[in-house]
Amino acid sequence: MDPLLARLATSGTKSPDLVKQVVQEVGDNPEKFQVFMEAMLHPDTGTDLARRAAGIAEKVARWYPHLVIPYEAALLAALPQMQPAVMCWQVGLLLSYLPLTDDTLATVLNYLETWLYTDPNKFMKVHCLQAMANLSRQHDWLRQETIDLIKTEMAKGGAAVNARGRHLLKQLKA
């Protein structure tokens, strides 16, 4: 097992300091990033380690979205069987960093909207809204629909959704 991945596997509990350190060590290194993407997507990776690997991959991809490009097909192929919720939102966010074609965008939006409407987890809703906002920055026609969706979800309540919603509306200048 890769030493960086092994550190996550043996950390026991979630450690923000360890996560920050690993993200910094991965940086813009495609080979190190590959370790986390493969761990996240491999069916034999344990759930906890896959979840942690997905979290590292997403945090690295925020700064270096080009690293995700080689994994677009694998991420899309993983969507139908993606579980648990935390893995869904990580994959949604990872895909939102990519320059997607119209067909691929439609597929990703379909998953994001399904998760948004069917999963009761407030963090799932927050991350789906974030992914949609990310995508609307690349696809201007999606901007107003995303703003309306954010406002609708905020009206339903929930501290996490309202806090992120206000932030996203500012970013989208609604």
Predicted model pTM: 0.91
Give the percent of the chain with pLDDT over 70: 97
- Average pLDDT over all residues of the chain: 93
Q: Is the pLDDT of residue 93 over 60?
A: yes
State the average pLDDT over residues 63-84. Answer: 93
Tokens of 30: 């495609």
As to burial, measured by CB atoms within 10 angstroms (0-12 exposed, 13-18 middle, 19+ buried), residue 46 is: exposed
The vertex-37 CA angle with 32 and 39, nearest 5°, equals 100
As to burial, measured by CB atoms within 10 angstroms (0-12 exposed, 13-18 middle, 19+ buried), residue 169 is: middle
Q: Is the pLDDT of residue 13 over 90?
A: no
Q: Is the pLDDT of residue 15 over 90?
A: no
* pLDDT of the residue at 16: 85
Q: Pick the closest to residue 90 from 49, 131, 122 (CA basis).
A: 131
> For helices 47-63 and 85-96, what crossing angle results, to 10°?
20
pLDDT band at 14 (very low <50, low <70, confident <90, very high): low
Strand positions, DSSP E, the chain: none
Phi–psi pair at 2, nearest 5 degrees: -60, 140
As to burial, measured by CB atoms within 10 angstroms (0-12 exposed, 13-18 middle, 19+ buried), residue 104 is: middle
Q: What is the four-CA torsion angle of 73, 75, 80, 82, rounded to 10 degrees?
A: 160
Question: Distance between terminal CA atoms of the chain?
Answer: 46
